[in-house]
Amino acid sequence: MSTDEPSPSAEQHGHEHHEAEGPGYPTPAAMRTEGGREKTAYVMAPRVGMENDGPDFVGVVDLDPDSNTYSEMIDAVEMPNRGDELHHFGWNACSSSCHAEGLSRQYLVVPGQRSSRIHVIDAEDPRDPEMVKIIEPEDVFEYDLSAPHTVHCVPGGKIVISMLGDANGELPGGFLQLDQEDFSIDGRWEGDPGPMEMNYDYWYQPRHDVLVSSEWAAPNTYYPGFDLEDVEDGKYGDSIHIWSWEDREHLQTLEFGEQGRIPLEVRMSHNPEETQGYIGAALSSNVIRFYEDSDGTWDWDVVIDEDPREHEDWDMPVPPLITDLLLSLDDQYLFFSNWLHGDVRMYDVSDAANPRLVDQVWAGGLFGDRQDVRGESIRGAPQMLQLSRDGRRLYWTTSLFSSWDNQFFPDIAEEGSLMLKADVYPDEGRMELDEDFLVDFGDAPGGPARAHEIRWPGGDCTSDVWQ
C-alpha cells in the first residue's frame, strides 16, 4: 500500500492526517507533500586515514538554488578530537513522536565509529549548528559496548543507538539507550539478545511490535580493511534479527547464507500499516525483501540479484557491492548504490515482491562510463544516498569507510570525496545526473575529508519512522 493512500486504521492508531503537535509529520504523505524543498544539508565528513589526518566534522551544505552559495559548504562543526570516524548520525526526535507536545527536532546525535565517542549538536539555527555535549568513550564502555552506528529517536523520550562491538571491539554488540532530555545514558536497550552477536543497522515499527536489525562484523574485523578470508572464516554477517519492540527480546533470526553476505542497511516501508522491508546484502550484491507471514513469523526472498563483472586489475570478478539503499516516502521507488561498479539504480516497487528496474545512473567506480563532473574526477562512486522529501532529487556521497576507501579508491585519502546529485522524475520513472551540481570535500577548510551520510534539517526518508 502506498503511503499516499489513506490508511483504514489511521484513526484507530491516532495518526489521521492532522497538524502535528511535536516534531515531524503525522504521515509520510504529509512529509512528502508539505515538507518543502531541502535548502540545507548536514553532511558528516571523517578525516580518519586521510593524508592530512585532522579531526572529523559535520559540514553544512547550501542546497538553495536561489542562493549565491548554492552547492557550497557554508559552515562546519569540527570535532574536538581526532580519530572519531563519524559514520552515521540521527535526530533526537522524529515523526515517531509527532504527537508528543513539547519535543522538537533540534539536536543531531553524531557517533564516532572508531572512538565510541558520541557528540550532540544543537541545530536550532539550521545554518549555524554548535556542539553542546560529548559523551566520552569511557562512559560507553561501562555498558560493555563500542562502535556506535545507527541513531534513531524512539517514542517515549528515548534515543536508541546500535552498537557493533563490546568494550574491546569484539562480539557481541548490542544497543545503547540515551535519554532524550539530557542525553544521559540509560543503559542497554535490549533485554534478552538471544543468539544475536553481530549488529549494524536497524529499523523499528512500534505499531507491529517489531525491530529488525542487520549484521556487519566485529569492529576489530572491519576496522583494518576488507579481507575475503574473514568472510570465509564466518567473521562477517549473513542474517537479520527480528525483535519484539515492546519486550526488547530477540524472536527470530533469518539466515541468508551465501545469498545474503554482509546485509547492511535496513529499510522498512514508510507506511506504518505494512510489515515488510528491504535490505541490501553488500558482498552478495542482492536485495532481499523480508516480510511478516500470516502466522506472525517472518520470511524472506531475494528480489534483486546482481552479477559481478570481470576487471583487468582484479584476480576475481568484481561484485557490485550494494552499500546503501532507501525507499521514497510514498514507497513507490527503491534506490540503491553499487559502490564498486559505480552506479545508482532506481526500481519501481509498487509491487513490493517484484521490483522492476526503471533507470540507473553511472558516476565513477570501476565501470562507470562517466568519471568526472564539472571537470573534477569522481573519487569513489555512489555510496550513501539521500532523497528529497518530494522524491525529485537524489543526492549521494562517494566514501564508504576509511580503511575500505583506501583499499579500493585510494585517491579519496589524498583528495577527499564528493557529493553529487541526480534529478528524479517519479512520474516518468527515470533520473538524470545533474552535471552542474558538485560539492568537493577535497576543498574543505582544514584539508580534504570523506563526505559520508546526509541529513535534512526537516527530516528525511532514512531517519523518520511513523507509528
- Mean pLDDT computed over 292-312: 97
Q: How confident is the model at residue 369 (pLDDT cuts 50, 70, 90)?
A: very high
Q: Would you say residue 441 has pLDDT above 50?
A: yes
pLDDT 10s digits, 133-166:
999 999 999 999 999 999 999 988 899 999 999 9
Identity (one letter) of the amino acid at 225?
A: G
Sole residue written with cell 500499516: 273
DSSP string, 176-203: EEEETTT--EEEES-S--TT------EE
Q: Would you say residue 412 has pLDDT above 50?
A: yes
Q: Residue 377 has which C-alpha cell? A: 574526477
Q: How confident is the model at residue 12 (pLDDT cuts 50, 70, 90)?
A: very low
Q: How confident is the model at residue 21 (pLDDT cuts 50, 70, 90)?
A: confident
Q: Would you say residue 275 has pLDDT above 80?
A: yes
Tell how strand 185-188 and strand 202-205 pair up. unpaired
Residues linked to residue 422 through DSSP beta bridges, in sequence order: 394, 433
* CA dist list (Å): 267 to 22, 203, 318, 335, 346: 24, 7, 25, 11, 15
Sole residue written with cell 516480510: 291
Domains assigned to the chain: 28-455 (2.130.10.10)
Q: What order do you get walking across the sheet with 118-122 strand by strand?
A: 90-91, 107-111, 118-122, 130-135
Q: Residue 108 has which C-alpha cell? A: 543531531
- Mean pLDDT computed over 192-212: 97
Angle (CA) 23 164 203, round 5°: 35
- Mean pLDDT computed over 414-432: 98
Q: How confident is the model at residue 1 (pLDDT cuts 50, 70, 90)?
A: low
Instruction: Pick the more confident residue, 103 or 174.
Output: 174
> What's the CA gap between 121 and 110, in Å, rounded?
7
Q: What is the pLDDT of residue 15?
A: 46
Residues 22/98, Cβ–Cβ less than 8 Å: yes
Q: Would you say residue 231 has pLDDT above 50?
A: yes
Spatial CB neighbours of 238, under 8 Å, sequence gap ≥ 6: 215, 255, 256, 257, 258, 260, 261, 262, 263, 281
Output b/e per residue, 273-294; b: 16+ Cβ within 10 A: bbbbbbbbbbbbbbbbbbbbee
**Which run of H or E residues covers position 228?**
helix 228-232
Q: What's this model's pTM, rounded to 2 decimal places? A: 0.95
pLDDT 10s digits, 44-59:
999 999 998 899 999 9
| Average pLDDT of the chain to the nearest whole number | 95
Q: Look at residue 280 and give its three-state secondary structure.
A: strand
Q: Would you say residue 6 has pLDDT above 70?
A: no
What is the Cβ-side half-sphere exposure of residue 345, based on CA atoms within 13 angstroms? 25
Least Cα distance to 34 among 21, 18, 22 occurs for 18
The region of weakest confidence among 65-74, 89-98, 107-116 is 89-98
